[in-house]
Structures are given as C-alpha cells and as structure tokens.
Amino acid sequence: MTADHANRAHAKLSASGSKRWLSCTPSAELEAQFEDSTSSFAEEGTAAHELSEIWLKYHLSQIKAWDHGELWKQAQKGKYYSREMEDYVQGYVSIVLERANEAFKRSKDAIVLLEQRLDFSEWVPHGFGTGDVLIIADGIMEVIDLKYGKGVPVSAEENSQMRLYGLGALDGYGYLYDIQTVRMTIVQPRLDSVSTEELTADDLLSWGEDYVKPRAAMAAAGEGEFAAGDHCRFCKARATCRTRAEDNLKLAKYEFRDGSLLSLDEVGDVLGRIDQLQKWAEDIKKHALDQAEKHGVRYPGWKLVEGRSNRIYSDRDAVQAALLAVGFVEDKILTPRELLGITAMEKAVGKKKFEELLSELIIKPTGKPTLAPEKDPRPELSSTASAAADFTDD
Ligand code: SF4
C-alpha cells in the first residue's frame, strides 16, 4: 500500500501555509472560519505523488516486482494518469535516485526513507508534515519535496515549508545520527526546476528557536498584527480581509501632482501597483459570485443574473446530416482537421516521444513586448524609437 497522500492532515499551523502565518500571525485564527477546499490541481498532485512512491519503492527494493506491477496497473486506471504524468514522474524519480546514489557513495550505511511524518511540534504547536523523501548519510540529511504544479518555480532558498520539514527531520532522526548539515530540495519536474537550500543543523535550529517558535505561539493564540503582502495570495480570508482591503485601497489612493497629464514617474508608480490591485479585485469578484450563486447571499445594489452566452449546436451530427442531405458539400460545411496544440500533443504522445520526434520542429517565436519591473532578469528590449535613432546615427 502507498501512503495516504490525499488525506495528509492539515494542521492549523501547516508547513505549506507557514509563509503566511509567520508573516501575518493572526491569519491562522481568521482562516479557521473558512471551509477547506480541494481542487483538481491538488488531486492531480496527489496522483503524481502516489505514482512516484510506487516507482521509488520499486527502485529502492522496498517492494517486490509483482507488487509494483499491481500498484502500477492500479495507478494507470486513475483519473489523472497520463503518459505525460508518467514522464514527469520518471524525471523526478531519477533525480531522487541520483541523490540516493550519491549518499550511498558517501556511506554504505546511508538510509533513504519515503513518506515520513515529520513532527515539528517542538517549534510549532501541533505542527507536522510529510516528507516525500528523506536521505541520511555521513552527517548530511536531505529532505526532498515533489511539487507537481506548473505555475511558477518555487525556490528552496529561505522556504519556510522546507525549513519546517528540515526541523521535523532533525527532531525525528537527529538523536540517531550525528547530523551537521541539512539540505532541503524542491523538485518541480514540469518546470524543469530543482532548487536546494543547505544550512548547518545549528543554523536551522536557531531559526526554529529564534524566529519560528515565538511567532508560532502568537499565531496559535490568534495574536499579533495583521500584515498584508504576497503571502495573502493563498489565504482563505483573502477576499474579505479588512487589512488586505485597506492595504490595497492605500495602494489605489495616489497623491497626484499638478498638471493635466501624468508624469513618467507617476505612470511608473501606478504600473507597480496594478498587478496587486487586479488580483485583489478578482478575488473579491470571485468570492462574491460564489457566495451569491451557492449560498444565496445578496449584496446591496447587486443581483445574480444570467451571463451572456453564444449560440451552440444542440446535435452536431444532426446538423451535418441535415446540410449534406440537401446537397451542401463537406468542404463547405466542415473545418479541416487540425493538429493538436503543443501542450495537448505532449500529453497525447508523452514527453519523451514528443522530444524525440518533434524537438526540431518546435520553435519559440519572440514574445510580444511587455513592461516588467527593472529587477526582472530578462534583458531590456530596445524600443522602436531607439532602434530608429540608432539607425539614423549610423
Ligand atoms: S489576507 Fe493577508 S492580511 Fe489578511 S489575514 Fe490573510 S494573510 Fe493576513
């Protein structure tokens, strides 16, 4: 049997939400008023974790070939299983096996543990999580976490979730093995991203004692100051939180200088506020619609109505038959068959085959110019005006 990935319990002060409750301590108490929800992305992640565990157990000789075959067959019947998932999971499995082999090279007594409950309640009341992989060898302990999402790359540097897992691992195994270094690694196979932070065990323990412990105690008691920031993105209270609203309204309120037109500086400042304001506005709209539609909530001045819709065929085959019967030819009424889009094709044929057969036939056209903050790592483009000026100078 594989570990119960879907039912990994979520504590009030969970490791995955730690960036939020460490930055905004009363958010843990406020969030408790909201229901837990699950998404198809979370379910897909669970399926990928289960599949990776089946393969890792097999490669690490923790299950017999026959059991592996049976478990794999079951996994392939799952709603989210696809060739694409198999390829990505194999990519993750090879990274883990590489790390495990390095550990065995350092020490023949290396140990590799899968799906370990990591208890960090020494620092966070009732705090625990599950480490996907734990490798211990020669004074070095590595915690590896699979993230199956394909949103944005998540860095392991200063990542509080990974550090809490590291603390849990130290607490659970530090007394058995003399551990000096803790490595915390995040693997995101769909983004080709592997990120590791390495800390001495002493530094990690000091972070736990000096930073986490006092803030976790405040969070558990619902104390401290609300503080809005990037961490609000995944907070259950994000749509109706007063602090976030006030923070955004402060952002929206801008002391414009005189003159009929905005200056370059003023437009630059406004650009820097737009993304956050947009996210907040979208959160409020989504929340209000959800409340009105599913719970019958009425907001003064607003009502639930039917949105605009486009005409659709009720029976496509009947439409085709009716037209052909009166003499219309197929070329006139049918669109030509088209190739699948790149993502759908990758999913249909599998990542490996896709790369093998099509890598030279895929091109990446230049992206449309977009405005980005100065600290963005992409090189600056020259504008049409400056290109024209360069041309004139020549
Ligand atoms: S939305 Fe932001 S400010 Fe409000 S409780 Fe959540 S984390 Fe704190």
Domains located in the chain, CATH noted: 18-221 (3.90.320), 238-295 (no CATH)
Looking at the DSSP bridge assignments, the partners of residue 344 are: none
Least Cα distance to 163 among 188, 180, 145 occurs for 145
Best mutation site among 232, 236, 279 for ligand 1 pocket (most ligand atoms within 8 Å of CB): 232
**CB of residue 235 inside a 6 A radius of ligand 1:** yes
pLDDT of residue 26: 97
pLDDT of residue 391: 59
Question: Which of ligand 1's atoms lies nearest the C-alpha of 231?
Answer: 7
**CB of residue 30 inside a 6 A radius of ligand 1:** yes
Instruction: State in Å: Cα 365 to ligand 1 middle.
Output: 40
What whole-number distance in Å separates Cα of residue 18 and Cα of residue 178?
Answer: 27
Give the global pTM: 0.82
**CB of residue 241 inside a 6 A radius of ligand 1:** yes
**CB of residue 239 inside a 6 A radius of ligand 1:** no
pLDDT of residue 336: 82
Pick the residue whose CA is nearest to atom 3 on ligand 1. Answer: 228
Instruction: State in Å: Cα 29 to ligand 1 middle.
Output: 11
Instruction: State in Å: Cα 24 to ligand 1 middle.
Output: 6
**CB of residue 20 inside a 6 A radius of ligand 1:** yes
Instruction: State in Å: Cα 20 to ligand 1 middle.
Output: 8
pLDDT of residue 7: 45
Pick the residue whose CA is nearest to atom 2 on ligand 1. Answer: 232
pLDDT of residue 22: 97
pLDDT of residue 201: 97
pLDDT along the chain (394 residues), means of 10: 50 91 96 82 93 96 93 94 93 96 93 95 94 95 95 92 97 90 96 96 98 97 95 94 93 81 90 90 94 92 92 93 93 88 87 90 88 85 70 56
**CB of residue 27 inside a 6 A radius of ligand 1:** yes
Sequential DSSP letters for 342-391: HHHHHHHH-HHHHHHHHGGG---PPPPP----TT-SSPPPPPHHHHHHHH
Distances, alpha carbon 178 to alpha carbons 64, 136, 139, 181, 211, in Å: 32, 10, 6, 9, 24
Best mutation site among 12, 14, 16, 20 for ligand 1 pocket (most ligand atoms within 8 Å of CB): 20
Cβ proximity of 16 and 161 under 8 Å: yes
**CB of residue 121 inside a 6 A radius of ligand 1:** no
**CB of residue 228 inside a 6 A radius of ligand 1:** yes
